[in-house]
Amino acid sequence: MEKRILGSSGLEVSALGLGCMGLSFAYGPAMEKQQGIKIIREAYEQGVTFFDTAEAYGIANEELVGEALAPFRKEVVIATKFGFKNGEAAQGQDSRPERIRAVAEESLRRLKTDVIDLFYQHRVDANVPIEDVAGTIKDLIQEGKIKHFGMSEAGVESIRRAHAIQPVTALQSEYSIWWREPENEILPTLEELGIGFVPFSPLGRGFLTGKINAETKFDSSDFRNTLPRFNEENRKNNQTLIDLLSAIAKEKGATNAQIALGWLLAQKPWIVPIPGTTKSHRLTENIGSVAIDLTAADIKVIDDAFAKTEIKGDRYPKHLMTSVGK
């Protein structure tokens, strides 16, 4: 698979990574462990070298990633995250230096590794100066426990302040055809500072694949049940987007998912999306997006079409909305 370098850091990864959250968290019941290992190893066999997990996805998620990648640990890049109280997003942020150190030690053990390739702050903590966070990561890098510093859903001000203390290798935030906010200020800032971008939910939490419609029923434990953008009425209204994407995909001899991922890959050479999946055939389909050649004209057609549509529904419920502008 094609390789990409995240910003000016020198960190080389496959052009497409694998988001591992959904293997055991958020999208319904966790996969059986051996099936999860199978998916991760299939991704590696097909050229994926970039794997994403987090403390907040549950202890089992990091342990799964660690076990699956142990046979070829030196050939892959593992990213994980810190930043929530007791590892639970619902309890709020906690990026105190002592907590960062504790999470690093726990993640190293669960991932069965002696170094974390990329350690993200999962969300900016308003109660801890970002300089203290960056300084702690800098110390951990000097101690050989971390290789690279990342941030997630951070705004321009926080990124600049952190970067001045310890260079930020990558920002991970939501970005896709139907969530374009990073284009306003984030992408220009990352380009200026030489920071790579790792879009999560590049397939709109599955909606952009065209496999979800107003009639779709999610498992009771699927967190999409709580997202305004996924209520039945909004799914029905947003179907126009899928019809447009399907038409473009048919013309290119590709799938909706491949066009959505190909669009992201075409934005900047330092963008590396991390779609997740629990199915082998979807994994292969997603990886096929790297070979999709979207021209500038194709991109313009897609952008013009989507500019004429109104996307209904917030991406998170109000109580979970966090500012990404600071």
The CATH number covering residue 271 comes to 3.20.20.100
Give a yes or no: residue 15 inside a domain. Answer: yes
CA dihedral 292, 240, 271, 317 (to 10 degrees): -150
In a domain, 146, yes or no: yes
Nearest to 120 by CA among 104, 106, 109, 142: 104
pLDDT at 234: 82
- Considering only residues 230 and 171, tell me which one the structure prediction assigns the higher pLDDT: 171
Calpha distance 120→79 (Å, rounded): 7
pTM recorded for the entire structure: 0.94
Instruction: Provide the annotated active-site residues.
Output: 57
- Residue 261: how many CB atoms within 10 A of its CB? 29
Q: How confident is the model at residue 320 (pLDDT cuts 50, 70, 90)?
A: low
Model pLDDT for residues 158-173, shown as the tens digit of each residue = 999 999 999 999 999 9
In whole angstroms, how far apart are CA 279 and each of 36, 110, 201, 203, 210? 10, 24, 16, 15, 16
Residue 325 is predicted with a pLDDT of 38
The tens digit of pLDDT for each residue in 34-71 reads 999 999 999 999 999 999 999 999 989 999 999 999 99
Would 110 be classed as within a structural domain? yes
Task: Answer whether residue 313 is part of any domain.
Answer: no
Domain count, the chain: 1
| Cα–Cα distance for residue pair 180/175, rounded to 1 Å | 6
Residue 89 lies in a domain: yes
Domain presence at residue 165 = yes
Q: Do the domain assignments include residue 23? A: yes
Among 57-61, 145-149, 175-179, 238-242, the range scoring the smallest mean pLDDT is 238-242
- Take residue 323 and report the two structure tokens written for it: 């500012």
Residue closest to 193 by CA, chosen among 270, 112, 308, 92: 270
Q: Which structural domain, as residue segments, surrounds residue 17? A: 3-202+267-292
Q: Confirm whether 159 is domain-assigned.
A: yes
- Say what percent of the chain tops pLDDT 90: 72
Closest CA to 16 of 151, 200, 245: 200
Longest dimension (CA), the chain: 54
